[in-house]
Amino acid sequence: MESQKTNIKRVTLFEDGARQNRDIYIVGGTIKLIREDVRQGVFSGVYELDADGLFALPLFTDCGCFALGLKDLELPKLSLQEYKRFGFFSFITMLNPLDNPARLLEQKECVGVYGKAGMFPRYITGGTRNKMYHLGENIYEDIIKSEYCAGASALVEDRELGIDHARFANMARQVAAAAADTDRPCVTIALLGDAAVDFAFIDEALGLGTEYGTVIPAFVNRNKGTLNAGLLHLNEGGLIMLVACGDTARMNAGCIPLSQSLARIMQARGNLDGVLAASYSGGFLPKKDTNSLDVRGEIVNLSSELREAISLGVPITEVLKTVTKNPAAVFGLDHLKISEDRYARFLLADEDLNIKYIVDGNQIYPPDSYRTPVLFF
């Protein structure tokens, strides 16, 4: 039987930061050619899609979410259809500070289910409240026994649920050892709590030692002080994670929207290298006051804030780094790249980052209903 063929014409790709018009020729669901003007005969049986004016983009990664939601607090599990609709086929999930040890096993099983449904997830083990949770004997064992476990996380500098210095340092040390022994990327994520004003806790807990591996402060846009600390951290070669805050009218007044944070970093440094973007989907965000409604993290917040950053003048190439290139490097998601001899799975979007189509092998879906293909062979 002859392989199905698709040619996506005149699409824009980013090659070494430059825009290039290319055709993407797909045979049997695999990208065979990426080059200028792939010509086909009128009777060749090739289906062509004119993508002039559109960008071919790698699948997006949500760098921080809580896929299990929150039990008894009206926060549901991550929605596959909602994530895919916004181009996010990859995510990093962790325990919510209100979770318990049993939920760690549930999280691991959940990642397996999402993987079978066409997602590319990773999960984070680690600490909640003032404890460290793990499925095996320790965090090190959790990581080395599962290729989908990408490290550990804990809440730091929080008035009620923050982890102490010794436990945090021990956690980071185990993650670094697992990364060395498995030879794959593993990270420690420090979720900045309501008492955080800079990265002093992290520096003091780790003693600025090298045996603690890659530590990523998260929710760095929680307030002006943490964002300034994040800039210094980036300049020293570190990584930071920013969160899409959602409805700013109900958010804690100190939180700086993701779009504005990206614009500030871009203005200060000229690039967004080392910056990761997260939705915190499935978790609560700090609300403005006791009279405000609860603010939920949602994937739509991340999508809209990325587009808002572009409207503020941040180049699309830099905005994309926060959900494509940077997380791919940090979490070992190299398979999400668009290149020849790989399975064809990528996005087609306009210059404002509005997704028009999702390419999945021989099928091209509209984002609002990815189960209804535009082309189905």
Flag whether pLDDT at 373 surpasses 50. no
Q: Which two tokens stand for residue 89?
A: 């086929």
- Rounded to an integer, the average pLDDT of 82-109 is 90
**For the chain, what is the mean pLDDT?**
89
Q: Which two tokens stand for residue 205?
A: 């807990």
* Phi, psi angles (nearest 5°) of residue 92: -115, 115
pLDDT at 54: 96
Determine the 3-state secondary structure of 370 from DSSP.
Answer: coil
280: left (phi over 0), alpha (psi -120 to 50) or beta: left
pLDDT at 41: 65
pLDDT at 208: 67
Residue burial 143-162, b: 16+ Cβ < 10 Å; e: rest: bbebeebbbbbbbbbbeebb
| Partners of 60 in the β-ladder | 88
| Partners of 242 in the β-ladder | 277
Angle subtended by helix axes 299-311 and 258-269, to nearest 10: 40
pLDDT at 42: 60
pLDDT at 116: 92
Flag whether pLDDT at 376 surpasses 70. no
Least confident range from 16-20, 67-71, 200-204: namely 16-20
C-alpha dihedral, 324 to 327 to 330 to 335, nearest 10°: -50
Residue-wise pLDDT tens digits, 24-61: 999 999 999 999 988 876 657 788 899 999 999 999 99
Flag whether pLDDT at 331 surpasses 90. yes
Question: Distance between CA atoms of 328 and 335, rounded to whole angstroms?
Answer: 8
Higher confidence at residue 135 or residue 39?
A: 135
The identity of residue 111, as a single letter, is V
Quote the distance between the C-alpha of residue 153 and its chain's center.
15
Q: Is the pTM of this model over 0.95?
A: no
Flag whether pLDDT at 374 surpasses 60. no
Flag whether pLDDT at 210 surpasses 80. no
C-alpha dihedral, 190 to 271 to 306 to 158, nearest 10°: 20
The identity of residue 143, as a single letter, is I
Flag whether pLDDT at 14 surpasses 60. yes
Domains plus CATH for the chain?
5-56+337-369 (2.30.40.10), 59-331 (3.20.20.140)
Question: Distance between CA atoms of 125 and 131, rounded to whole angstroms?
Answer: 12
- Rounded to an integer, the average pLDDT of 287-297 is 81
With cut-offs at 50, 70 and 90, classify the pLDDT of residue 128: low
Percent of all residues in the chain with a pLDDT value above 70, rounded to a whole number: 94
Flag whether pLDDT at 291 surpasses 70. yes
Determine the 3-state secondary structure of 65 from DSSP.
Answer: strand
Flag whether pLDDT at 354 surpasses 50. yes
Flag whether pLDDT at 235 surpasses 80. yes
Percent of all residues in the chain with a pLDDT value above 90, rounded to a whole number: 66
The identity of residue 212, as a single letter, is Y
- Rounded to an integer, the average pLDDT of 275-285 is 93
**Is residue 148 within 8 Å of residue 122, measured between CB atoms?**
yes
